[in-house]
């Protein structure tokens, strides 16, 4: 497992599991944060991608979903601070 997964409280992962997950993720759709394009597989550097998404339509809707999630998290934070 990696230090990142342990630090995040995620169960450790062996190399075979990580390789299998990467191979599966390569077959998925990604939203390119720089260009706004939907990509299939690992086309762009990971820092420029959001995902993975199962369908092209889900990836295309990523900006709206990210905006909604951000609003929900901000609302939850305000409620906790109240």
Give CA–CA dist 20/44, Å, rounded.
Answer: 20
Predicted confidence band at 18 (pLDDT cuts at 50, 70, 90)?
Answer: low
- Residues 40/29, Cβ–Cβ less than 8 Å: yes
Q: Is the predicted pLDDT of residue 4 greater than 70, yes or no?
A: no
Alpha helices in the chain (DSSP H): 3-7, 15-26, 56-60, 62-81
pTM here is 0.67
* pLDDT single digits (tens) 29-63: 999 999 999 999 999 999 999 999 999 999 999 99
Residue whose C-alpha is closest to residue 62's, from 36, 44, 40: 36
């Amino acid at each position: 497992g990696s230090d990142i997964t342990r630090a995040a409280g995620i169960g450790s992962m062996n190399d075979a599991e990580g390789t299998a997950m990467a191979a599966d993720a390569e077959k998925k759709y990604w939203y390119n944060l720089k260009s706004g394009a939907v990509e299939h597989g690992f086309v762009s550097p990971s820092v420029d991608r959001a995902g993975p998404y199962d369908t092209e339509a889900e990836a295309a809707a990523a900006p709206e979903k990210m905006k909604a999630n951000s609003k929900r998290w901000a609302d939850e934070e305000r409620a906790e601070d109240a």
